[in-house]
Homo-oligomer: A and B are copies of this chain.
Amino acid sequence: MGELKEEKATSYPKTSQNKVAIIGATGYGGLQSVRLLESHPDFLITYLGGKRSAGKRWSEVCPFTSITQNLEICDAVPEKIADSADFAILSLPNGEASQLVPELLDRNVRVVDLSADYRYRSLTHWSQVYVQESLKFKRGDHDLCKEAVYGLPEWKQHEISEARLVASPGCFPTASLLALLPFLNQGLVENEGIIIDAKTGTSGGGRIPKEAMLLAEASEAISPYGVIGHRHTSEIEQLSSEVAGKLIQLQFTPHLVPMVRGLLSTVYCRLRDPGLTAEDCNTVLEAIYKDYPTVEVLPVGRYPSTKWVRNTNKVMLSVQVDNRTSRLILMSAVDNLVKGQAGQAIQSLNIMAGLPLERGLPLETYYP
């Protein structure tokens, strides 16, 4: 039967190590983390950090998501966090996380960070991409940038298991890389000329009110943004290059779609061997991901809707090949707030805690 029942069959002891602090609890990343961890059988939320809501009980701030102890939301004080938690999920604006992470690691709190602060292997690289943030926040944590593990669990499972600090990937990189990496890894596609045309719901823009994200503005509209300059480009290129063993430069264009959740990446590559079929390419994906219940490869000819993975920690992948043009077209759908953000962070948390990576995470949507 379903994922919930399977979980019941196994019996991981709920040890005292699995206490988690969520910092930045009332933004969308934090909200998802609270919701997912609250129904997780092996973690206990023990600390909620938040600036704007500090001093309030959780139920005042979020009448729609209850937590057992109805904790008070507090400022993020490293000592207190370390006193109450073994792990911390950080859902803070870029730059801010870097001010807290070293303090937490020093106090033996293992961290999964949702921001971009530790996604680059070098601090210099980060400063080049996150220019404004690097001016605002002083950082000297070169070593931590090097130490941090890029938290794409299907590709970094071993490293995550031993990590003190996991940098959870951005939503666009998650969807794009899970589709693209198998083909780069096996050298099946050309390194040049890769194009990623991505589409996201507006919750990706966060919960801080912005004019462009108002329903009155974003509804009944689709538009590109961040064309050629989007920060996730460098993040996708970094891991692509690592996996391909060669510098990859690619085209990435995000679009804003009038829906709350969901992210679709359509990836265009050129096949090295023009004789490969869609079925061949499907086999490649199935082989690589066969042990990962978080990845579903659709039969050839079936294309994923973001709706099929909404509220789940699953990515749905599909391939198609155009023999006229020797193009491989990869389609990858995720929920940007779950597999694209908080759910994936908890996947890393599972691995760090020695649990199966899909443990406690929803894998089936409610349709429609």
Bound-complex Cα distance A199 to B62 (A): 24
CB distance from A179 to the nearest CB of B (A): 12
Instruction: Report if A225 contacts B (CB, 8 A).
Output: yes
Which of A1-9, A79-87, A166-174 faces chain B?
A: A1-9
Instruction: Report if A259 contacts B (CB, 8 A).
Output: yes
**Extra pairs beyond A2-B66, A209-B213, A209-B214 (9, CB < 8 Å):** A2-B68, A35-B366, A203-B216, A217-B307, A217-B368, A219-B220, A224-B303, A227-B329, A258-B258
Instruction: Report if A302 contacts B (CB, 8 A).
Output: yes
Instruction: Report if A75 contacts B (CB, 8 A).
Output: no
Chain A 264-291, CB-CB to B under 8 Å as 1, else 0, gives 1010101000000000000000000000
Chain A 36-69, CB-CB to B under 8 Å as 1, else 0, gives 0011010010000000000000000011111110
Q: How many copies does the complex hold?
A: 4
CB distance from A31 to the nearest CB of B (A): 6
Instruction: Report if A136 contacts B (CB, 8 A).
Output: no
Instruction: Report if A77 contacts B (CB, 8 A).
Output: no
Q: Is the CB of B365 within 8 A of A310?
A: no
Instruction: Report if A188 contacts B (CB, 8 A).
Output: no
Interface range on chain A (Cβ under 8 Å from partner) = 35 or more
- With A28-B216, A199-B255, A214-B215 as known contacts, state yes or no: A223 contacts B367, CB within 8 Å: no
Instruction: Report if A245 contacts B (CB, 8 A).
Output: no
Instruction: Report if A294 contacts B (CB, 8 A).
Output: no
Instruction: Report if A251 contacts B (CB, 8 A).
Output: yes
Bound-complex Cα distance A305 to B35 (A): 18
Instruction: Report if A232 contacts B (CB, 8 A).
Output: no
CB distance from A82 to the nearest CB of B (A): 22
Instruction: Report if A128 contacts B (CB, 8 A).
Output: no
Q: Is the CB of A366 within 8 A of B195?
A: no
Bound-complex Cα distance A327 to B194 (A): 11
Bound-complex Cα distance A64 to B67 (A): 29
- With A1-B44, A28-B368 as known contacts, state yes or no: A202 contacts B216, CB within 8 Å: yes
List chain B residues, Cβ under 8 A from A197. Answer: 195, 197, 266, 268
Q: For residue A202, which residue of chain B has the nearest CB?
A: B215
Bound-complex Cα distance A209 to B329 (A): 30
Q: Is the CB of A257 within 8 A of B222?
A: yes
Binding site for B on A (CB under 8 A): 1-5, 8, 28, 31-32, 35, 38-39, 41, 44, 62-68, 193, 195, 197, 199, 201-203, 205, 207, 209-211, 213-225, 227-228, 249-251, 253, 255, 257-262, 264, 266, 268, 270, 298, 302-311, 320-322, 324-325, 327, 329, 331, 333, 338, 364-368
A68: which of B1, B44, B211, B327 is its contact (CB, 8 Å)? Answer: B1
List chain B residues, Cβ under 8 A from A365. Answer: 64-65
List chain B residues, Cβ under 8 A from A311. Answer: 311, 366
Query: In the complex, which of the residues A8, A222, A257, A298 has the most CB atoms of chain B within 10 Å of its own CB atom?
Result: A222
- With A35-B364, A39-B4, A214-B213 as known contacts, state yes or no: A228 contacts B63, CB within 8 Å: no
List chain B residues, Cβ under 8 A from A338. Answer: 366
Bound-complex Cα distance A243 to B79 (A): 57
- With A4-B41, A38-B2, A266-B224 as known contacts, state yes or no: A329 contacts B214, CB within 8 Å: no
- With A209-B209, A260-B215 as known contacts, state yes or no: A8 contacts B366, CB within 8 Å: no
CB distance from A168 to the nearest CB of B (A): 18
Q: For residue A216, which residue of chain B has the nearest CB?
A: B203
List chain B residues, Cβ under 8 A from A219. Answer: 215, 219-220, 258-260
